[in-house]
């Protein structure tokens, strides 16, 4: 008789354990689904939904405006080194290209000044070229009424050009700088 009473007790325990296990799995799955749906809703509010909307609107290709090659003496001791730099500007549209062309003498002068303050060692590194590109973008943007934030200083010494030039107030964030990027088409140092 003890065999008969033990068997139903074991099967009842097994059924209860399986039911609890199934309940835990269902509750865990429901919790995971709710967390995932909340995460997707938060991403949509933060901009994930805008990416889908923006993907539907056609993006206008940029306008590339090549500048004449510039030849400058570098700031090396002795002054016997020079650089020939070819610059192409990536602009938002053709209207910006027309504005840049109208200010080209001012822009070329503004680009020549920081370029001539560089040394050979600075311009031979990738970091030096990237900093020069930021400075050139600032000089191209200035006559158009935009400002580019200055990169962190390389050293404690002050740049003499920074003392004389007042930075314009940046335009509101919604009005983005149409000078997207400065590209080097040639870079020769002798």
The verdict on 54 and 76 lying in the same domain is no
Mean pLDDT of 119-130: 95
Among 12, 27, 59, which residue terminates a domain? 59
DSSP 74: -
The yes-or-no verdict on residue 140 having pLDDT over 90 is yes
Name 179's bridge partners.
91
The verdict on 42 and 70 lying in the same domain is no
Q: Are 62 and 91 in contact (CB under 8 A)?
A: yes
Query: Tens digit of pLDDT for each residue in 22-57?
Result: 888 888 888 887 777 777 666 555 555 544 444 545
The verdict on 128 and 156 lying in the same domain is yes
Higher-confidence residue: 71 or 28?
A: 71
DSSP 144: G
Mean pLDDT of 56-66: 79
DSSP 82: E
Q: How far apart are CA 92 and CA 183, in angstroms?
A: 14
pTM, 2 dp: 0.59
- 3-class state of residue 29 by DSSP: helix
Q: How far apart are CA 107 and CA 50, in angstroms?
A: 36
The yes-or-no verdict on residue 135 having pLDDT over 70 is yes
Determine which helix (DSSP H) or strand (DSSP E) holds 3, and give its type and residue range: helix 2-43
Q: What is the pLDDT of residue 164?
A: 47
Q: What is the CATH number for 152?
A: 3.30.479
Closest to 91 measured CA to CA, from 168, 184, 172, 183: 183
The verdict on 26 and 88 lying in the same domain is no
The yes-or-no verdict on residue 174 having pLDDT over 50 is no
């Amino acid at each position: 008789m003890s065999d008969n009473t033990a068997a139903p007790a074991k099967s009842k325990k097994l059924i209860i354990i399986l039911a609890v296990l199934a309940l835990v799995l269902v509750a865990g799955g429901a919790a995971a689904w709710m967390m995932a749906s909340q995460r997707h809703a938060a991403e949509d509010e933060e901009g994930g939904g805008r990416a889908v909307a923006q993907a539907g609107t056609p993006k206008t290709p940029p306008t590339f405006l090549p500048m004449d090659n510039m030849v400058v003496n570098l700031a090396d001791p002795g002054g016997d080194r020079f650089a020939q730099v070819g610059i192409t500007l990536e602009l938002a549209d053709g209207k910006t290209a027309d504005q840049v062309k109208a200010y080209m003498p001012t822009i070329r002068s503004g680009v020549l000044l920081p370029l001539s303050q560089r040394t050979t060692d600075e311009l031979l590194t990738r970091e030096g070229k990237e900093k020069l590109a930021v400075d050139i973008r600032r000089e191209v943007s200035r006559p158009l009424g935009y400002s580019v934030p200055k990169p962190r200083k390389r050293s404690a010494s002050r740049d003499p050009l920074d003392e004389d030039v007042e930075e314009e107030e940046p335009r509101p964030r919604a009005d983005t700088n149409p000078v997207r990027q400065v590209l080097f088409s040639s870079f020769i140092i002798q």
